[in-house]
Structure 1
Amino acid sequence: MTIAYFCVLIMGLMPYVATGIAKKGFKDYDNSQPREWLAKQTGFRARALAAQNNLFESLPFFFAAVIIASIAHAPQDRIDTLAMGFVLSRIAYLICYVANWPTTRSIVWLFGMICVVALFFQI
């Protein structure tokens, strides 16, 4: 398995990390209706849920970029580097979202998008 493929796995699991943060401590958590419970949350829980949604939304673009670059036989070290850059940016993005640092969050989001777009230019 390449580093980039491992990054795909990490990114596939990362939205669930955000969910775990949103459910931290399970304060009055209702497992019979988890979506309703999450929709009522505020503060860091609501931000973690928003981060989860954004993480899910970014997956298809990232997955496609890694797969297409791999199929096109782009240099593997570049694919790996850009994939790691994306993963690191998304980890920072999650931290910034939960911590309520909107400007920094936007900057790291942009860095992640640059990594994905750059993957397409490797072909």
Structure 2
Amino acid sequence: MTSESDRWYDAAAGPVVRPYAMTRGRTSHAAEAKLDLIALVVTETEADDEAALDDHTLSPEHLDIIERCRQQATSVAELAADLDLPVGVVRVLVGDLLEASHVHIHKPVPPAELPDESILREVINGLRAL
């Protein structure tokens, strides 16, 4: 029997799984370049959700990500916060799902690539002048 001083977690914490165990020791994924904090993760179709549930290689965390992204597109940062996992772990898990075609990524348009408001006003004014 172990003494109380030998316990490395408290009763309120419950079972603890280290992040490297969730990612099988991986700290990055081949899809890492696509997965910045604001990248939106979207679950594929309902049929793919069924396939994901039948995929026994997926962890409960993978399935949680699929479930959260089924309802609406969710950023990598939001997933990390919702699942209470480090961003690096979420990137690896989402990379796994991306590789298995269970999700896809939408990258928002950076503000620098959006059209300038003054140009849009000039176009509107030009159209009104016609």
TM-score interval for Structure 1 and Structure 2 normalised by the shorter chain: under 0.3
More helix by share: 1
More strand by share: 2
Superposition TM-score, scaled by structure 2 size: 0.26
Which structure has the greater CA radius of gyration? 2
